[in-house]
Amino acid sequence: MQSSSTNNKNSKAQQARRRFLQKLGLLGAAADSYTLLELQAKTTASAASGDKRWGLLIDTSKCASGCDACVRGCNTEHGIDASDSDLTRAQWIRKIDLKDKLTGKESSLPVMCQHCDSAPCVDVCPTGASFKRADGVVLVNKHTCIGCRYCMMACPYKARSFIHENLTEQKPSAPRGKGTVESCTLCVHRIDSEQDMQPACAVACTDEAHSAIVFGDLNDPDSNISRQLQSAGGSQIRSDLQLNTGVRYHGL
Amino acid sequence: MSNPTTYFQPVRTWSGNYLIWMFALVLLVLAGGYCAYHMEHEGHHITGMNNSVVWGLPHVFAISLILAASGALNGATLSSVFGNKLYTPYARLSVVLSVCLLVGGLIVLVLDLGRPDRLAVAMTTYNFRSIFSWNIFLYTGFIAIGVIYLATMLERSLQRFNRPVGALALLWRIVLTSGTGSIFGFLVGRSALDSAILAPLFIALSLVMGSAALALVIPWVSRWQHSSVSLHHAPPTRQSMMKLLLWCVLAVLYFSAVHHVTNLYIAEHRQDEHNVLQGAFAGVFWLGHIAIIATGLVFLQTLRHSGELSSTAWHLLCAVLLIACAMILYTVIIGSQSTPQLLFPDKIITASSFGDAGVPAYRPTSWEWGFGMGGIALSLLLLGLVLRVLPISPTSQS
């Protein structure tokens, strides 16, 4: 009798131990998955490499006056509300129509952050919130931007926007915040996530059958952008400032 | 170190109209605080600032206070570094005013940030390529040196350090004002600002604004104290300050002339310069300069003849100088942003959603005025509180 009761007790203890180990196993598996997810995220984040230099080549002969597909594509991708005042709303990319003073030739082109190699915004930012990744993409760290707007004063391209109003309906891939400064990110969330992904403006331009915006690796001589730059050339806006911009224009 | 006929004491609570002033200043500070709170809560769209004119009236108030802070130390420097005994009764007041003006200016600057709640980030994360980062050290260092400088005046055992600390404070404020001018002086994208001469221009402006601020505060404090010191010392001190202000006014005019005339000669700056001289803010530019020239001429005439001005005229002219210098700063800070940035020198911009073609509009709102005035009131409130606690105010020996 005593032996049977001892056996029962042992059996219950074994069952309890088994359940405990099972739970421990589940917990371990969950922790492993979390670690893997975290590792995956870190791998993605650390993907910026000095071997690459992302850039854009804009062919102004293909860019149509009156077309703002790239602007709309950018706004949709990043949840930017274009209904506010032109003076205060965020404009990561804008269309400008030009007329040559001498020849009268008209052209149209998008202007966004030029992702300078020697970026004045990075130099002047007091907290280092404006920074340049190893692959040449100039970004704003939304956690350390204090909203002093010194980078906006320093940017020769007027490419940065200060968020003047409360924001709603933000996109998880493009976190933004009132009181901070932002600008074109070259859609890092897209180009970091998968190979051959293009920024939203380039995709929108291609969808409109203009294909005026070419995105790619300026360091890769075999990339489409490098080949086009080699064959047709590409100039910089305010090349006199010697900022070595990542955005180049053909036909300017 | 103090004049034998002068001793120092705290302001008595019921003296003069001290409490009325303090109450009025508290109200102004509260109003300014509410404007700042409203701006942070609603966003900067309630101000006149936008994505073209990114620094507005609050920056003019903040920079004016910071420059005046640097210049207000003139009284103490002249006394302890250059041995001019006329300024000895006002040396303590000069240091306290200087620190209070700086604190007021910095508070305005911080509260105008998009994220003032991240002040801790600004104080702990530095980018030493940025002159802004260096200025954080220059401003906090100035406050620390000011406190030590004051201690060498208040504490007998520390008086032997008064001159070396005064010399350090003089050197520090020259670097500080140069640093403040350099915030604007190296912006390659804005040709109206891209000039190293802004650093000495800011030094000259600081000397005028600080001396004028000190001259205005002295009778204010004397009334609280029922002191006759300001009356006893008035004519010679006033003459000396007039000479000092005249030289500083000439320096402002010289640096301003060099800045604008050279801009007219540099082809790439010419269009921006025309906008400054003839554009939307030309009225502010010319009025500021004409006021400062007129005041300088009055000082010159007075010094050449009787050498004396009535108290009312003297204080009025000092107030005119303060406002005129703030107007010049307004054209430097806001006028320079009110010219389109030159992106395509060979082209005419025919269309843009971001105002690339036209002159950006800016009209300061009442929130900005309230906020800026609150900063001035805060400086004066702090001054009043320090004067109540410490023996700063000069008074005649009974």
With bands split at pLDDT 50, 70 and 90, how would you rate the model's confidence at B363? Answer: very high
Cβ separation of B347 and A88 shorter than 8 Å? no
Q: Calculate mean pLDDT across residues B105-129.
A: 94
Asked whether the beta carbons of residue B187 and residue A128 sit closer than 8 angstroms, the reply is no
Q: Which residue of A has its CA nearest to B355?
A: A87
Q: What residues in A contact B267, CB-CB < 8 Å?
A: none
A130-132 and A138-140 strand pairing: antiparallel
Question: Which residue among A94, A160, A178 places its CB closest to the CB of B43?
Answer: A178
Instruction: Using CA coordinates, name the residue in chain B closest to A95.
Output: B352
Kind and range of the H or E run holding A106: strand A106-112
Condensed to tens digits (0 to 9), the pLDDT of residues B215-270 reads 999 888 887 776 555 544 567 788 899 999 999 999 999 999 999 999 898 888 88
The residue type of B289 is H
Cβ separation of A162 and B52 shorter than 8 Å?
no
pLDDT tens-digit series, residues B44-84: 999 999 999 999 999 999 999 999 999 999 999 999 999 98
Average pLDDT estimate for B8-18: 78
The dihedral over CA atoms of B184, B185, B188, B190, expressed in degrees to the nearest 10, equals 50
Please return the burial class of B278, using the count of CB atoms within 10 Å of its CB with bins 0-12, 13-18 and 19+. exposed
Interface contact A88, partner B, CB < 8 A: yes
How near does any CA of chain A get to the CA of B100, in Å? 23
CATH architecture of the region B13-341+362-385? Up-down Bundle (1.20)
Tally Cβ neighbours within 10 Å of residue A27.
10
pLDDT for A16 equals 63
Amino acid letter, residue A66: G
Radius of gyration of chain A (CA): 26
Mean of the per-residue pLDDT values for chain B?
90
Which chain B residue's Cα is nearest to A131?
A: B127
Residues of A in contact with B115 (CB under 8 A): 145-147, 177, 179-180
Are the beta carbons of B274 and B339 closer than 8 angstroms? no
Whether residue A127 sits in one domain with residue A35: no
What does the alpha-carbon distance between residue A130 and residue A221 come to, in Å, rounded to a whole number?
29
Chain B hits for A144, CB-CB cut-off 8 Å, are: 118, 121, 125
Q: Are residues A74 and A16 in the same domain?
A: no
**Chain pair A-B, CB pairs under 8 angstroms:** 181
β-pairing, A93-100 vs B347-352, is antiparallel
CA angle at residue B186 from B182 to B188, to 5 degrees? 160
What tokens were used for A98? 């030009």
Determine whether the interchain pair A152/B346 forms a contact, defined as Cβ–Cβ distance below 8 Å: no
pLDDT, tens digit (0-9, with 9 covering 90-100), for A68-92: 999 999 999 999 987 778 888 999 9
| Claim to verify: residue A81 and residue A204 sit in the same structural domain | yes
Amino acid found at A50: G
**For chain B, what percent of residues have pLDDT higher than 90?**
69
Residues A223 and A137 in one domain: yes
Contacts of A181 in chain B (CB under 8 A): 114
What is the rounded CA–CA span in Å between residue B143 and residue B305?
40
Q: What is the distance between the alpha carbons of residues B98 and B94, in angstroms, rounded to a whole number?
A: 6
For A110, name the nearest residue in chain B, comparing CA atoms only.
B352
Residues A14 and A106 grouped into a single domain: no
Q: Quick one: pLDDT at residue B111? A: 96
Contact B135, B179 (CB under 8 A): yes
Q: Which of residues 139-178 of A touch B (CB under 8 A)?
A: 144-150, 152-158, 160-166, 177-178
How far is C-alpha B66 from the geometric centre of its chain's CA atoms?
5
Give the total number of structural domains in chain A: 2
Per-residue pLDDT band for B290 (boundaries 50, 70, 90) equals very high
Residue of chain B nearest A82, judged by CA positions: B353
pLDDT digits (tens, 9 = 90+) for B91-114: 999 999 999 999 999 999 999 999
**Cα distance between residue B103 and residue B50, in whole Å:** 26
pLDDT (0 to 100) of residue B231: 47
Segment B132-153 mean pLDDT = 96
* Percent of all residues in chain A with a pLDDT value above 90, rounded to a whole number: 69
List the 2-61 stretch of A: residues with Cβ below 8 A of B. none
A90 CB neighbours in chain B (<8 A) are 51
Alpha-carbon separation of residue A148 from A132, A233, B358 (angstroms): 19, 37, 25
CA distances from B293 to B240, B256, B299 (A): 19, 12, 10
Q: Which of B42, B347, B353 sits opposite A101 (nearest CB)?
A: B347
What's the pLDDT score for residue A119?
Answer: 96
Is the confidence at residue A158, as pLDDT, over 90? yes
Among the listed residues B198, B209, B187, the one whose alpha carbon sits nearest the alpha carbon of residue B66: B209
pLDDT band of B272, cuts 50, 70, 90: confident
Note the pLDDT tens digit of each residue in B161-180.
Answer: 999 999 999 999 999 999 99
Would you place residue B16 in the very low, low, confident or very high pLDDT band (cuts 50, 70, 90)?
low
Lookup: tokens for B314: 């003297």
Residues A117 and A223 reside in one and the same domain: yes
At residue B129 the predicted structure's pLDDT band, cuts being 50, 70 and 90, is very high
Q: Is the domain of A85 the same as that of A111?
A: yes
How confident is the model over B112-120, as a mean pLDDT? 94
Using the Cβ of A198 and the Cβ atoms of chain B, whether some distance falls under 8 Å is answered with no
Residues β-bridged to residue A247: A56
Q: Are A125 and A141 in contact (CB under 8 A)?
A: no
The 10 Å Cβ neighbour count of residue B236 is 12
Of B55, B188, B356, the CB nearest to A158: B356
| Mutate which: A146, A165, A167, vs B, most B CBs within 10 A | A146
Query: Average pLDDT in the A58-66 region?
Result: 94
Residue A98 forms contact with B (CB below 8 Å): yes
What pLDDT sits at residue A93? 96
Position A40 pLDDT exceeds 50: no
A21 and A138: one domain? no
Closest partner residue to A124 (CB to CB) among B115, B116, B132 is B132
Length of chain B: 398
Chain A residues lying within 8 Å of B132, measured CB to CB: 124-126, 148, 150
Taking contacts as CB-CB distances below 8 angstroms, the residues of chain B near A249 are none
Task: Give B193-213 as a DSSP string.
Answer: T--TTHHHHHHHHHHHHHHHH
Out of A126, A157, A180, closest to residue B130 by CB: A126
Which of A65, A127, A150, A239 is the best substitution to test chain B (most B C-beta atoms within 10 A)? Answer: A127
Cα distances (Å, whole numbers) of residue A16 to A4, A11, A22: 18, 9, 10
Output phi, psi for B248, to 5 deg: -70, -35
| Pair of tokens at residue A78 | 């990043």
* pTM metric for this prediction: 0.88
Least confident of A3-12, A83-92, A216-225: A3-12
Q: What value does the mean pLDDT take over residues A141-167?
A: 95
* Residue A37 and residue A136 in one domain: no
3-state percent breakdown (helix, strand, coil) of chain A, nearest 5: 35, 15, 50
A37 has pLDDT over 50: no
Contact between B189 and A120 using a beta-carbon 8 Å cutoff: yes
Q: Which of A120, A146, A154 sits opposite B114 (nearest CB)?
A: A146
Strand, helix or coil for residue B293: helix
- pLDDT at position A28: 53
- Mean pLDDT over the full length of chain A: 86
From the list A85, A124, A252, which residue is nearest B130 (CB)?
Answer: A124
pLDDT value of residue B188? 83
What three-state secondary structure class fits A139? strand
Q: How far apart are CA A83 and CA A167, in angstroms?
A: 12
- Report the half-sphere exposure of A101 (CA within 13 A, side-chain side): 6
Does the distance separating the beta carbons of B348 and A101 come in below 8 Å? yes
A167 and A111 in a common domain:
yes
Closest CA to B338 of B28, B49, B22: B49
Domain ranges across chain B = 13-341+362-385
Mutate to test the interface with B, among A153, A180, A242 (most CBs of B within 10 A): A153
At B397, is the pLDDT very low, low, confident or very high (cuts 50, 70, 90)?
low
Position A25 pLDDT exceeds 80: no
Residue B274 tokens, joined? 């025309």
d(Cα A91, Cα A87) in Å, to the nearest integer? 9
* Same domain flag for A130 and A242: yes
Q: Which of B42, B114, B346 sits opposite A147 (nearest CB)?
A: B114
Token pair for A13: 């203890």
Pairing of strands A181-182, B393-396: unpaired
φ, ψ dihedrals at B275, nearest 5°: -65, -40
Structure tokens that stand for B155 in this block: 């504490």
Hey, how many other C-beta atoms are within 10 angstroms of the C-beta on B162?
20
3-state secondary structure of B8: strand
- Judgement on whether residues A220 and A111 belong to the same structural domain of the protein: yes
Which 8-state DSSP code applies to residue A110? E
**In chain A, whose CA is at the least distance from the CA of B59?**
A148
Indicate if the alpha-carbon torsion angle A133, A136, A141, A146 is positive or negative.
positive
Q: Which domain holds residue A37?
A: 1-46
Rounded mean pLDDT of A117-128? 96
Query: What is the model's pLDDT at position A129?
Result: 96
CATH number of the domain at A195, please: 3.30.70.20
Nearest-CA distance from A228 to chain B in Å?
A: 23
